[in-house]
Structure 1
Amino acid sequence: MSKKKKKEAQAVLTDGTVLPYIVTENPPRGGMKHTFFAPDKSYVIQFFNKPEDAEDPEMHKRLEKIISAYNPTRSAAAGGAAGNTEATAKYFDDLYCWPYALVEQPEFGIVCPTYPKQFFFDKDASEVEALDLAGKDKKSRWFTSPRVSKYLRDEEKGDFRSMLSISILLARAVRRMHQAGLSHSDLSENNVLIDPKGGRCVVIDIDSLVVPGLFPPEVAGTKGYIAPEVLETMELPMDDPGRALPCIKTDLFAMPVLIYQYLLHRHPLEGPKVYSTASPEEDDFLMYGPQATFIEDPKDQTNRPDDLKVTIHDLGPELERLFLRAFCDGLHHPEERPSALEWEKALVHAWDLLEPCANPDCPAHWFPLPYGGDPVCPFCGTRMEPHDVMHLRIRQKMNGRRGQWITRQVINVYDQMPLFAWHFHAGVFPDEKVQDRAMMAYVSHQGGAWYLVNHSLTGMRSPGGRLVPPGQAVCLTPGRAFLATEDADGVVMEAMD
C-alpha cells in the first residue's frame, strides 16, 4: 500500500503572518471542519467543510471575539479576556484547546494549538494486538464505558482520585466560560479529552461557543449530552419561542453527565426502563428527552438498575445533593440545575474526603470517606480499622462577630497527606488564582497516634497554646482544637475520630 502523498502549503493569517501546514489527501474531518497539521505538529489549521460557513460574516465576528475579547488563554494586556492575568491565562491554556488566530488564505479558517501529547494514545495503550490506538485522541468514552475500557491496559485507566481531578478541572473550565457569559453548546465525550493517568482534561471545539444575545448556537449537541428540553423541542423552528437552544443551562446538564460518568462509569439516564416498543429511535427520544429519568432517582425507581453497587451516596453528601439537583430537580427544570461554581466547590471538598484503599487490588484505589460514614471502600468492600480513621473539622472566624467561629468544612486525613494554603486560610480557594501551591503541613500516623507536622506555617499553636514552629508537630487528639496559624484569616482545627 502506498503512503499518503504529503505536500506543504501556506496559510496567511489576518495579520499577514504566514504559517506552513501539511496537506494530506484525507485530512481528519469532523462535523464542521477538516484539519491539517503543522510540519512540527505544534498547531493545526482548520478549514470549514461547507463553503457557506466560511463565507458567513456572523461566523467571522464570532471567531474574532472568541480569539480576543472572550479568550481566557490570553491575558487582558495581550488582548484577551478582561481581568485575565498572565498567570491565569497560562493556567487556562492547559484546560482548553482555544483557537488563537484566523486564516484568510487560501480560505477562511482558524489556527489552534495541537492537543498536548498526553491526550493521544501511544502504541502500548492496549494489550489487544488488533486494536491499534496509537495517535488516537483520548476521548472520554474510552475510559467511562466498561464495554470499551476493558480493552485498555489498567495503567491507562487511572483511578477514582485521577477521575475526580479531571472532574474538578472540567467544572473549573466550564465555570470560567460561564463567567464570561459563554456556553460551549456541545460538551460531550467527544469534546472533552481526558488523561486519567495524569488526572488532566482539555476542552476542545471551542469555535462553536454560544454568546447569548450576540451569536446563536450552531449545533444542538451530542446524543446522551443534549439537555432534555433541547431534544424535546428540536423539531420546532429556530425562531419559535418554545424551542430550547443550547446555552449555559444546557451546559449544566451535559457537564454533570460527564462528571457522573467519570466517577461512576455509567450514564445517569441509561437504565433498564423501556420507554417505547414502537422503535429504538422513539425509545431513545423519550429516554433522553421528555420522559428522561435519573437511574438513581429516589422517588422514581422505574429506571434503576439492579446491580448498582456504588451510588451517588458513596460520593459524599455534597456531591449527592448536587447530582439529585441536576438529575431530579433540574432534569426537566433547567433553572434548578447547580452552577459550574457549585460543582467546582463540591468536587474540591470531595477531594478533601479521599481515603486510600488498603486493598492493592482495588480498582478505584481511593474512595471518599465523609465524617460519620461507614469506613468501607464502596468499590471493593475493604473495611478500615477504627484507629485508621481520622477527620479534621476546620473552623473560620465569623464576619463581624468577634471570638465566634463557624465550621468551614470537615476533611478526612490519612498518613502522609499534604495540606496547603487553602486548608489553613479562610480566604483561599484552590482555583486558578492560587499561585503558591507549596505544601504547608502534612499528616503523620505512627505508633497509633496522629500528628499534624508543621512545614512552613507561622504561629501554629498546640491545643494548650504552645507555639509549634516549622519542623514540629501537633498531636491530633479527638475533641481538642488548636490554632493552625496566627494570620488574620487563619483557621482553627479540631481532630475528630
Structure 2
Amino acid sequence: MFLLHRHPLKGGKVHDLDTEKDDLLSMGEKAMFIEHPTDPANRPKLNQVSKWDLPWAGITKLPYTITGPYLKTLFDKVFIDGLHNPMQRPNAEEWEIALLKTTDLMQKYHNVSCEQKWYVFDNTNTPRCPFCNTAHKGTLPVLDLYYQFQETTWKPENHRLMVYNDQYLFQWHVNRNIARNEKLTAAQKVPVGYFTFFNDKWVFVNQKLTSLKDVTEDKEIPIGTMLELTDGKKILLSKEEGGRVIVVTMANK
C-alpha cells in the first residue's frame, strides 16, 4: 500500500452480501491477490472505484511489476505462493535487501509534466516511464556488479546500479563486505565518486578509490581523474578483498 497506494487483496470479487463476512473472507480464507497472474477473479473493477483511487487502482496501466524485479519476486512469494502458506513468505532481511537493490534501479526522469519524476528501470534496452509512458532520451548506462568467486572467476551478483547525472557511488557498491545498513560508519557513508554526463559522454569521476582500474584498457584510474563509460567496459572498483568489478551496458543506444 505504501508503494502502490492500493490494497493487494481488496479487489472486485464479492464473497458474501454481508459486508462484515465478506471482509473476513476476502482478508482470510478466500483471500486472493488482485493481480494473480492466472486467476483474474479479484481484479479491481474501475467503474466501482473512487476517482481518488486513480490511477493507482488501474492495475493494467500500473501493475505491481513496476516496482522492479527484486520486489516483484517477493510480492509473488507473499501474495501468490505464500498467501495461504506463511512459511513460504520472505523474511524481513529479504525485504530489506530487495528494497535497497531497488533503490539502485531508480532512474531520474526529467519530464516536467510527470508527477513521479522517478521510476524503477525495467531492464529493457528501450526504457520508458510507466507513469507518463514517455521514452527515455539519450543513452543510459547500466552497471552490473560482479564478485570474485575464485581467483580467475567472477560471478554476477544479481545487482544492478543505474546511472544518471550526478549519481553517487558508495563503499557498499565497491565492496561486497560492506553492508548498507545501520552499522555503516560515517566514513562509509561518504561517496567515493560520482557519474556525470560530460562533453556528450558518460563518465565516472574518481574521488576516493585508490585501486580503481579500467580492466578493458588495462589502465589505472587515479583519484581526481575520470573514466569514460562505454558499452562492455569492465571496471575493477577495488583490489581489496570483497572488491567488485562492474560491467557497463549502454541501454537506449
Question: TM-score when scaled to structure 1?
Answer: 0.46
Q: Of residues 134, 137, 153 in structure 2, which corresponds to 1:404?
A: 153
Give, in angstroms, the shift of residue 484 of structure 1.
1.2
* Alignment pair present for 1:313 and 2:56: no
Q: Of residues 231, 245, 248 in structure 2, which corresponds to 1:492?
A: 245
Give, in angstroms, the shift of residue 373 of structure 1.
5.9
* Alignment pair present for 1:269 and 2:15: no
State the alpha-carbon separation in 1 of the partners of residues 42 and 112 from structure 2. 34
Q: Contact (CA 8 Å) 2:114, 2:131: kept in 1 or not?
A: yes
Give, in angstroms, the shift of residue 471 of structure 1.
1.3
Q: Which residue of structure 2 lines up, in the alignment, with residue 418 of structure 1?
A: 168
Q: Which residue of structure 2 lines up, in the alignment, with residue 383 of structure 1?
A: 135
State the alpha-carbon separation in 2 of the partners of residues 427 and 311 from structure 1. 35
Give, in angstroms, the shift of residue 388 of structure 1.
3.1
User: Which amino acid in structure 2 is aligned with residue 323 of structure 1?
Assistant: F
Q: Which residue of structure 2 lines up, in the alignment, with residue 395 of structure 1?
A: 146
User: Which amino acid in structure 1 is aligned with residue 115 of structure 2?
Assistant: P
Query: Which SS does the other structure have where 1:486 is aligned?
Result: coil
Give, in angstroms, the shift of residue 371 of structure 1.
2.8
For residues 80-479 of structure 1, the aligned pairs below 5 Å read: 261-277=1-17, 279-305=18-44, 307-308=58-59, 309-372=61-124, 374-385=126-137, 387-398=138-149, 401-408=150-157, 409-435=159-185, 436-462=188-214, 463-479=216-232
State the alpha-carbon separation in 2 of the partners of residues 388 and 414 from structure 1. 10
Q: Contact (CA 8 Å) 1:370, 1:411: kept in 2 or not?
A: no
**CA offsets 1:144-169 (integer angstroms, 9 cap, x no match):** xxxxxxxxxxxxxxxxxxxxxxxxxx
User: Which amino acid in structure 2 is aligned with residue 433 of structure 1?
Assistant: K
Identity %: 34
State the alpha-carbon separation in 2 of the partners of residues 395 and 291 from structure 1. 43
State the alpha-carbon separation in 1 of the partners of residues 196 and 99 from structure 2. 25
User: Which amino acid in structure 1 is aligned with residue 78 of structure 2?
Assistant: A
Structure 1 unpaired stretches of 5+: 1-260
Q: Contact (CA 8 Å) 2:66, 2:122: kept in 1 or not?
A: no
Greater relative CO, 1 or 2 (CA 8 Å, sep 6+): 2
Give, in angstroms, the shift of residue 374 of structure 1.
4.7
Give, in angstroms, the shift of residue 459 of structure 1.
0.8
Give, in angstroms, the shift of residue 418 of structure 1.
0.6
Over 3 Å counting, the alpha-carbon distance change for 1:479 and 1:445 in structure 2 is same
Over 3 Å counting, the alpha-carbon distance change for 1:360 and 1:322 in structure 2 is same
Give, in angstroms, the shift of residue 460 of structure 1.
0.6
User: Which amino acid in structure 2 is aligned with residue 405 of structure 1?
Assistant: W
Q: Contact (CA 8 Å) 2:206, 2:225: kept in 1 or not?
A: yes
Give, in angstroms, the shift of residue 491 of structure 1.
0.9
Over 3 Å counting, the alpha-carbon distance change for 1:373 and 1:367 in structure 2 is farther
**CA offsets 1:215-260 (integer angstroms, 9 cap, x no match):** xxxxxxxxxxxxxxxxxxxxxxxxxxxxxxxxxxxxxxxxxxxxxx
Q: Contact (CA 8 Å) 1:425, 1:491: kept in 2 or not?
A: yes
| The structure with more radius of gyration | 1
RMSD between aligned alpha carbons? 1.4
Q: Which residue of structure 2 lines up, in the alignment, with residue 96 of structure 1?
A: none
Q: Contact (CA 8 Å) 1:371, 1:410: kept in 2 or not?
A: no
**CA offsets 1:83-136 (integer angstroms, 9 cap, x no match):** xxxxxxxxxxxxxxxxxxxxxxxxxxxxxxxxxxxxxxxxxxxxxxxxxxxxxx
Query: Which SS does the other structure have where 1:327 is aligned?
Result: helix
Q: Contact (CA 8 Å) 1:330, 1:336: kept in 2 or not?
A: yes
Q: Contact (CA 8 Å) 1:359, 1:365: kept in 2 or not?
A: yes
State the alpha-carbon separation in 2 of the partners of residues 332 and 448 from structure 1. 53
Query: Which SS does the other structure have where 1:290 is aligned?
Result: coil
Query: Which SS does the other structure have where 1:262 is aligned?
Result: coil
Q: Contact (CA 8 Å) 1:371, 1:412: kept in 2 or not?
A: no
Query: Which SS does the other structure have where 2:246 is aligned?
Result: strand
State the alpha-carbon separation in 2 of the partners of residues 350 and 432 from structure 1. 18
Q: Contact (CA 8 Å) 2:32, 2:42: kept in 1 or not?
A: yes
Over 3 Å counting, the alpha-carbon distance change for 1:298 and 1:438 in structure 2 is same
Structure 2 unpaired stretches of 5+: 47-57
State the alpha-carbon separation in 2 of the partners of residues 456 and 353 from structure 1. 23
**CA offsets 1:426-445 (integer angstroms, 9 cap, x no match):** 21120111112000111111
Number of residues of Structure 1 aligned to a counterpart in Structure 2? 233
Give, in angstroms, the shift of residue 380 of structure 1.
1.8
Give, in angstroms, the shift of residue 393 of structure 1.
1.2
* Alignment pair present for 1:481 and 2:229: no
The answer to which structure has the higher strand fraction is: 2
State the alpha-carbon separation in 2 of the partners of residues 325 and 402 from structure 1. 35
Q: Contact (CA 8 Å) 1:395, 1:405: kept in 2 or not?
A: yes
